[in-house]
Chains A and B, each alone.
Chain A
Amino acid sequence: MVTPKVISRTTTSEALDQGYKWGFSIDIDSDSAPKGLNEDIVRFISAKKGEPEWMLEWRLKAFRFWLRQKQGEPAWANIHHPVIDFQDIIYYSAPSSKKDGPKSLEDVDPEVRAAFDKLGIPLNEQAKLAGVAVDAVLDSVSVATTYQGMLEKAGIIFCSMSEAVRKHPDLVRKYLGTVVPYTDNFYASLNSAVFSDGSFAYIPKGTRCPIELMTYFRINTANSGQFERTLIVADEGSYVSYLEGCTAPIRKESQLHAAVVELVTLDNAEIKYSTLQNWYPGDKEGNGGVYNFVTKRGKAQGRNSKISWTQVETGSAITWKYPSVILQGDNSVGEFYSVALVNNYQQADTGTKMIHIGKNTRSTIVAKGISAGHGNNTYRGLVKIMPSADGARNFSQCDSLLVGDQCGAHTTPYIEVRNPTAQMEHEASTSKVSDDQLFYCQSRGMSVEDAHSMIINGFCRSIFQELPFEFAMEASQLLKVSLEGTVG
C-alpha cells in the first residue's frame, strides 16, 4: 500500500504569516445560471448535467417540499446572521467546459490547474506519487478525477456524482436520500433540489480501499452557493478512509455552502471520514465569510459496521454542522472526534447525533471547542438510545477552551435514554489556558505565542491523532494560523 502523502501547502513556515493565504480568485468563463431559484433553474441544472428523468423528478419533489417549508431556515442554533435571500444566489456555475467533461489532465483549464497548484492539490503526476485519488470539485463540477486506474482494478467506484448518476444509476438510486431524505431539513431539501455535483464512492464487498480517497471543495464564483452532494457506500466487509479538505478564496459578500454527505455501511464495513474545513472566515470585523450549513449523516446499517467522523473546523463565518451516525445494525459503532475553533466574529454551532437502534451499539464523542476573539462556539449534540438498543453504550466528552474574555463557549448536549440496560455518560468542562502552564513554558524560553500554541495543540491532540498523519500536521498548522494575533 502506498503511504498517502497529502498536501504540503501549510507545512512551510513562510506560508503561515500571510493571514488567509488562499485568498486568490480565478477568472474563468463560468457557465452560470441566472440568479434566483425556481423550477426552471432546477430543470436547467438537471439538463446541464444530462440527468435521467428520475433524477429530475427527485429534485423537483425536493424543491416543492422546500417551498412548502413555512418555517424557513432553522432558528434553533446559537448563530446570528442576516436573513439569506435565496433568490439572490447563483445556483449553478461550472467552469466553461466541453459537455463531456475533461478527458485527461491536458483538457483541464490551465487556470484551474494553476489554482489547484497554488492550493497544493496533487492533481497531476505528483498525485500518483502522493497516492491520493482526488475528485476535485471546483465550483460544483468535478474537474478531473485522478488515480482511477488503481481504484478500478480493485472494483472501487470513485467519481463525481453526475458521472455516477449516468454510469451507475442503480447504485445511486438505491442509496441516494436514504440517509438524508430530501424532507430532512431546510438546507437538505434545498441541496436535494439544486445540488450541482459532489463525489460518489462505492467500495465493493470485502475490499479494503488501497488509498485514501479525497475530495477537495472550493467556492470560486462570487455569489454562488455551493451545493455538493456526497454519497459513500461501503459494501459488506469493506473499508475506506475518505478525506475532505476545503479552502475558499476571499469574497466580500457572504457565501452559502449547503452540502449533504451520506454514508452507508453494510455488515462488517467501516468508513472513516475526515474533514479539514478552512473556508474563508470573514475579516477581523466579521464581514464576509462562508456560511457553512451542512448536513452530514452516516447510517451504520449492517451488523458490526463502523462509521467514524473526524473534523477540524477552523474556517467559515458560521458553521452549522452535525455529522451524525444512525446505529442501526447490532454491534455497530459510531465515533465523532471534533476540533472547532472560532476567532474574530466567527460562530460555530456544531456537534453530532448518535441514534442507537441496534443492540450493543457503541458511540464515542470527543469534542474540543476553542474560542478566541469575539467568537462563539457551541457544542450541540444528541445521544438517543431507543428502546430496542439493549446494552447500548455512549461516552461523550466536550471540552472548551477560552482564549480572551470576549468570546463564548457553550455546551448543549441532549440525552434521551429509553432503555434501562443502556449506559451513557456525558462530561464537559470549560477552562482557560492555565497560567501555570504558560509560566512554565515561558520559563523554558518559549514565547507567549508559542506556549499558547503548544498548549492548545496539546488540548486537541486526542483529535488530531484520529486524523491521517499529514492531515494532522496540516491541522495543527492551521490552528496556529487561525489563532494568530489573539495572544501575546
Chain B
Amino acid sequence: MTQTLTKYAGYHEAFQALESSAPKSTPPWLHELRRQAWSRFQQLGFPTARRGNEKWKYTNVAPIASAAFSHPAALPSGAQPTAGRVKQLGPSAPGWTNLVFVDGHYSPALSTQPGQAPGIVVDNLSKATVSSPQLVQPHLARQAGFEDDGFIALNTAFLQDGAFIHVADNRTAPAMINLLFVTTEGPTPKVTFPRVLVVAGKGSQVSLVETYVSPAKSRYFINTVTEIVVGDGANVEHCRLLLESPEAFHVGNTRVYQGQDSTFTSAGFFRGAALARNDFQVLLDGTGANCTVNGLYLTTDSQHVDHLIGIDHAKPHGTSRLLYKGILDGKSKAVFGGTVMVRKDAQKTDARQTDKNLLLSPDAEVDSKPSLLIFADDVKCAHGATAGHIDANTVFYMQSRGLDLATASRMLIHAFAREVIDTVQAEPLRDYLDGLFSQAMPASSLRFGGTP
C-alpha cells in the first residue's frame, strides 16, 4: 500500500484536501462513497498493464499515469471566460437550458435556465446532492460501478460537481439541455472530474448534449463519468461532443441503463485531444428496448482515439444499431472495440454493428475489433467493418465533371461524415456539427494508391 500511495501521491494529497475542505452540507453518504471509491482506486490504479489487458490492448495509458496534475478545488477565482466566449466554444441556440462548468465546477454566472418546467430538475450535482438527495442517491454511482475500473473509481473518489437532470414520469423536458465543460488554461496541467447523472422517469422525454471543450492548447487530464437511466417507455436523446485541446487526455465513461420499451439515441463526435477514450456501455434491461449509438471521429497529427462500445441485450425483443465512422489523417490512430452481447434470455434480439474507417494518410492506423457474443438462438445479429480510402473511380468521375481533386475529395469525405451527423434530430445542433466538421475536413494529404 505504501507503494501505491507514493505512486499516486498527487492524487492522494488532492483527495485528502477535498475531503477535509468539504462543506459541512456534504451528506455523509457522499463522503462514504468517495472513500470507498478512493480505496478501490488505490487497489486498481490505472490500467497500465500492456499484456493481457484486453480492454486497453491498443491504448497505453502510461502517459496519464505518469504525469502530475493539479486538482482545482473550486471555480478559478481569476479570469473566467466571458459569456460571449463560452457561446462560441460549443453549440448553442435560443431557448436552450445551458449549464456551464469551468474546470469541473458549476459556473452560475455563465449558465442560463429559461424558466422552470414542472417535474423537471436541471441542476448542478453538488447542489442537488444537498437539496434533493432523494432523487440523486438512488441512482448516483449505481450504473457506473467502480469495482473493476480505475478511471471510474478515481472519478467517483473526486465526485464533487457536475450536472444532474431528473425528469419525472410522463414529463417532457421542453428545451434541449446543453452541458458545457470548459477547461481553462493554467500554469500547471489540471485534472478535472466532471460527473453527469440523467434520470428519465417512465414515459418521459429529454434531449441533452454534453460538450467537453477547451480554449487552451495546453495539456490537461479530464476524467468524466456519465450515467443515464432511461425508465420504462422513456425516450432519451443524447449527444456527446469532444472538442478538447490538442494536448489533452480525455477519458470518458458513459453507462446507460434502459428499461422496458425505452428508446435511447446517442451520437458522439470526437475531435481534438492527444488521447481520447470513449468507454460507452448500454444495458438493455427491459423487454423491447431500443437503442441507437452512433459516432464520428476525426483525427489528425498524432492523435489517438479509442472507443470501447458495449451493447448488452439482457432481455428479449431488443433492437440495437451501432454505427461508428472514422476519418483518419496524419499519424493518428483510432481504435474501435465494439461488443454486442446477447444474453440467454434475450431472444428475438435484432442487433447490428458497423465500424467504417477512411484512411487519408499513409501513417494513419486503425485497429478495429467488432465482436459479437451470442448466447441466444433466435436472434438476428450482424456486424461489419471496413477500412480503406476514397474510391478513386468516384473521384475520377467527379473530376471529369469539372471539380478539382481537393473539392471532390472534400465532398466525398463530407458525405461520409454526414451519415452520422444526420442522425442528430435537433436542427440547431445538427447544423452546428455539420459546420464544425466541414471546416475541419482534411483533404490535402490525400494520396491514391495505384490505378482504380
Contact = CB atoms under 8 A, between A and B. Distances in A.
Interface stretch (B111-119, B210-218, B380-388): B380-388
A420 interface: yes
A400 interface: yes
The DSSP consensus for interface residues of chain A is strand
A431 B365 CA distance: 32
A431 B370 contact: no
A432 B378 contact: yes
Contacts of B51: 71
Contact of A420 (B367, B384, B389): B389
Interface in B350-400: 357, 359-389
A405 B344 contact: yes
B449 interface: yes
B367 A415 contact: yes
B84 interface: no
B23 interface: no
A413 B371 contact: yes
Contacts of B344: 405-406
B384 A430 contact: no
Interface string A413-434: 1111111111111111111100
B54 interface: yes
Contacts of B365: 416-418
Nearest to B387: A417
B378 A405 contact: yes
Given A413-B371, A415-B368, A421-B389, A429 B381 contact: yes
Interface in A385-437: 385, 387, 390-391, 400, 402-432
Contacts of A425: 384-386
A54 interface: no
Interface in B399-452: 447-450
Contacts of B347: 405
Contacts of B375: 407-408
Contacts of A408: 373-375
Nearest to B349: A430
Contacts of A418: 364-365
Contact of A431 (B357, B363, B368, B380): B380
B386 A420 contact: no
A75 interface: yes
Contacts of A424: 385-388
Contacts of A387: 362-363
Nearest to A407: B377
Interface residues of A, number: 39
Interface string B79-114: 000000000000000000000000000000000000
A430 B370 contact: no
A425 B386 CA distance: 5
Contact of A405 (B368, B369, B376): B376
B328 to A, nearest CB: 8
A430 B382 contact: yes
Interface residues of B, number: 41
B382 A428 contact: yes
A412 B361 CA distance: 27
Contact of B379 (A71, A417, A431): A431
A408 B373 CA distance: 7
Given A75-B52, A402-B377, A426-B386, A416 B367 contact: yes
Contacts of B388: 420, 422-424
Given A391-B450, A421-B450, A411 B372 contact: yes
Given A405-B344, A415-B367, A410 B374 contact: yes
A410 B375 CA distance: 8
Contacts of A432: 377-379
A417 B366 contact: yes
A430 B374 contact: yes
A411 B383 contact: yes
Kindly name the residue among B372, B377, B386 whose own CB sees the greatest number of chain A CB atoms within 10 A: B377
B409 to A, nearest CB: 12
A402 B374 CA distance: 9
Contact of A415 (B52, B374, B385, B447): B385
A427 B52 contact: no
B47 to A, nearest CB: 16
A415 B387 contact: yes
A35 to B, nearest CB: 30
Nearest to B51: A71
Contacts of A71: 51-52
Given A71-B51, A407-B377, A427-B384, A420 B372 contact: no
B378 A417 contact: no
Interface string B273-312: 0000000000000000000000000000000000000000
Contact of A400 (B364, B374, B386): B374
Kindly name the residue among B374, B383, B384, B450 whose own CB sees the greatest number of chain A CB atoms within 10 A: B374
Given A412-B369, A421-B450, A405 B387 contact: no
A364 B362 CA distance: 23
Nearest to B365: A418
Nearest to A78: B373
A340 to B, nearest CB: 15
B449 A409 contact: no
B366 A405 contact: no
A421 B368 contact: no
A400 B448 CA distance: 36
A163 to B, nearest CB: 39
B450 A423 contact: no
B387 to A, nearest CB: 4
A51 B288 CA distance: 67
Contacts of B370: 413, 426, 428
Nearest to A360: B450
B138 to A, nearest CB: 34
B324 to A, nearest CB: 13
Interface in A57-76: 71, 75-76
Interface in A287-342: none
Given A410-B371, A417-B357, A421-B389, A76 B54 contact: yes
B448 to A, nearest CB: 8
B382 to A, nearest CB: 5
Given A426-B384, A426-B385, A412 B371 contact: yes
B379 A419 contact: no
Interface in A103-121: none
A420 B330 CA distance: 11
Kindly name the residue among B367, B384, B387, B448 whose own CB sees the greatest number of chain A CB atoms within 10 A: B387
Given A76-B54, A411-B371, A411-B372, A420 B379 contact: no
Kindly name the residue among A400, A410, A411, A417 whose own CB sees the greatest number of chain B CB atoms within 10 A: A417
A395 to B, nearest CB: 10
A410 B369 CA distance: 13
Nearest to B378: A432
Interface string B260-276: 00000000000000000
B307 to A, nearest CB: 14
Contacts of B357: 417
Contacts of A412: 369, 371-372
Interface of A: 71, 75-76, 385, 387, 390-391, 400, 402-432
13 contacts: A402-B376, A405-B344, A405-B347, A409-B372, A414-B368, A417-B366, A420-B389, A421-B448, A423-B386, A424-B388, A425-B384, A431-B381, A432-B377
Given A402-B377, A407-B377, A431-B379, 16 more contacts: A76-B54, A385-B387, A387-B362, A402-B374, A405-B378, A414-B367, A416-B366, A417-B368, A420-B359, A420-B388, A422-B387, A423-B386, A423-B388, A426-B384, A430-B382, A431-B381
The 10 A-B residue pairs whose C-beta atoms are closest, nearest first, are: A421-B449, A420-B359, A402-B377, A412-B371, A417-B387, A423-B388, A415-B368, A430-B381, A426-B385, A411-B372
Interface of B: 51-52, 54, 344, 347, 357, 359-389, 447-450
